[in-house]
Structure formats: structure tokens, C-alpha cells
Amino acid sequence: MSKRTPLIAGNWKLHNNHFEAIALVQKLAFTLNDADFDATEIVVLPPFTALRSVQTLVEGDKLRFGYGAQDISAHSSGAYTGEVSGSMLAKLGCTYALVGHSERREHHHEDDSLVNAKVKAAFAADLVPILCLGEGLEVRKAKEHVAHTVAQLDAALADVPEEQAAQVVVAYEPVWAIGTGEVATPDDAQEVAAALRVRLGELYSPETSRAARILYGGSVKSDNIAGIMAKSDVDGALVGGASLKADEFASLARYR
Ligand code: PEP
């Protein structure tokens, strides 16, 4: 049995202004109880503009949610209009930053070297990157999904020292399953998660391989999460659409 703490993270994407964010976190806090937070780390990833409100609520009401940002600048400061640095996010109490989400890779042309720089920027600010990896449909059809995703892992962790890599959260998100309603099977998720774990062992050590949490993401809902979480190398879920409704996200977090 794994000793890794399960992690369920809600990626709100471009949804919820800061008022709506407060309402959603309050509803979640009302629905979830201490036993839920004892069993599972529950994290929300609001838009940047809602982070300060979420921080105020979480700290003020001593809520047990973790939270983080959906992106991070590769730069620490300077003439980078529109960017938000790791230290700014850390100052807002963030624990996590998503890095390399497929929507960033697709719509903002983020390549492996930028993802690598963002992973390093997150660690430099004492944030934990939730590193998103995964293949598109063509790669899956060509049965190259394992090699593709492992290569993304290699590139994202290039020159990242072991003491940092041991903290990383990896999210395997097959692009064809994100927001499409088409969920990978538990066996699909396990196949890639296991390969990523083996690769972490090759890149670093058996300890780091055992410690790293690997999430699955792609149309996870309350009615399909249990099968995915039953897989030995899957430690949690990165949830998009289903994280926007309090009842549904709370059910997800209580998948057991
Ligand atoms: C995501 O945004 O990372 C995601 C997996 O979205 P969805 O759950 O909506 O497929």
C-alpha cells in the first residue's frame, strides 16, 4: 500500500472571479469535513485574480485547502508585462503552481524548455510544480504515448536537482481526454503513471521514485474517479470541469 498522500486538485481554468471563488470555496468548506482533509490533500487552482481572496478566506477561517496558481513566470522579476512571478505567488500563500498544462502548451506555445524553466522558477520560490504531461490523439493512436510522455518528463526535469525533484507532483493528462468527456481507462492511466515512476527512479533514485505523486487528469468525475484511484501508481487527480461545482468536487474528493 502506498504511503503517498492522495491529492485531488481542481483546475478552475478561466472561470470564477474573486467573488465567485469565495462562494465556491465556502461551499466546499461547508460540505467537506476534517476526515476528508485527513484522508486527502484537497487543492484549488483559481485564476490569479482570485488568489488573494482565497488566501484571505483560507487563512482567516483556518480552512485546510491547499491552493495554487495555474501558471508561473519563468522569470523572477523584470520587464515581462503580464507575467506573475513565483515569489509573488508564494507571498499569496500558494503551495502549488501548475506548469506545462496542455492548454498553455497549445494556446501559448509553451515548449519543453520553457516548461523546464518554469519548473525551476517554481522550486526557486519554494512552490511545488504540478507538472502536466501527456500525449495528443495522434501520438496515442501511434502507440507512442509512453515514450512521448517520458520524454516530456526528462525535458521538464533537466538539471533539476534530486532534493527538488523529490517534491514534484506529476500530472499525466492525455490531451485527448481533457475537457472532452472521454476519460482514459484506469489501465491507461496506470500504464503511463508506472512508466513515469520508473523513469523518476532512473533519473534520480528509488526513494524519489517512490515519493513522487503522480496524478491522472482528463474528464475525471465523481463516477469514474474510484477506478482510477485504485491503481497503484496513481496518487490523485487533476480535475478541470468537475471542479467548478462544489457538490461534484466534494464527491470527487471523497472518492473512497
Ligand atoms: C484539466 O484542466 O487539467 C482537466 C483535466 O480538465 P477536465 O477535467 O475538464 O478534462
- ipTM of the complex model: 0.97
What grid cell was written down for 164?
A: 527538488
Kindly tell me if the per-residue pLDDT of 244 is higher than 80: yes
100 annotated to bind ligand: no
pLDDT for the residue numbered 2: 54
Q: In this structure, is residue 44 part of a structural domain?
A: yes
C-alpha span between 250 and 36 (Å, rounded): 9
With b meaning 16 or more CB within 10 Å and e meaning fewer, what string describes 82-99? eebbbbbbbebbbbbbbb
Q: In this structure, is residue 180 part of a structural domain?
A: yes
Q: What is the CATH classification number for the domain harbouring 236? A: 3.20.20.70
The number of beta carbons lying within 10 Å of the beta carbon of residue 137 is: 14
Distance in angstroms (rounded) separating the CA atoms of residues 149 and 160: 18
186 close to ligand 1 (CB < 6 Angstrom): no
Residue 2 lies in a domain: no
pLDDT tens digit string along 166-213? Answer: 999 999 999 999 988 888 899 999 999 999 999 999 999 999 999 999
- pTM for this one? 0.97
Stretch 138-162: mean pLDDT, rounded?
97
Q: Is the CB of 70 under 6 A from ligand 1?
A: no
Q: Which domain holds residue 235?
A: 7-253
Nearest CA to ligand 1 atom 4: 240
Mean pLDDT score of the chain: 96
On whether 241 is known to bind a ligand per the annotation, the reply is yes
Identify whether 145 is a catalytic site residue. Answer: no
Residue 104's pLDDT is what? 97
Q: Does residue 222 have its Cβ closer than 6 Å to ligand 1?
A: no
178 CB within 6 A, ligand 1: yes
Whole-number Å distance, alpha carbon 11 to ligand 1 midpoint, is: 7
Ligand 1: which residue has its CA nearest to atom 7?
A: 240
Whether 48 is covered by a domain: the verdict is yes
Q: Has residue 1 been placed in a domain?
A: no
Q: Mutate which of 220, 248, 249 to test ligand 1's pocket (most atoms within 8 Å of Cβ)?
A: 220
Residues 6+ apart with CB under 8 A from 115: 99, 100, 105, 131, 152, 155, 156
**Looking at ligand 1, which residue's alpha carbon is closest to its atom 1?**
240
Q: Average pLDDT for residues 29-33, to the nearest whole number? A: 97
- Mean pLDDT across 88-116: 97
Here the cell at position 16 is 470564477
Assess whether pLDDT exceeds 80 at residue 221: yes
Asked, for residue 88, whether it belongs to a domain, the answer is: yes
Tell me how many domains the chain contains.
1
Residue 245 inside a domain? The answer is yes
Centre of ligand 1 to C-alpha 127, Å, is: 21
Q: Is the CB of 24 under 6 A from ligand 1?
A: no
Which residue in the block uniquely carries the three cell numbers 468537475?
Answer: 242
**Cα-to-centroid distance, 237 and ligand 1 (Å):** 9
Tell me if 151 is assigned to some domain: yes
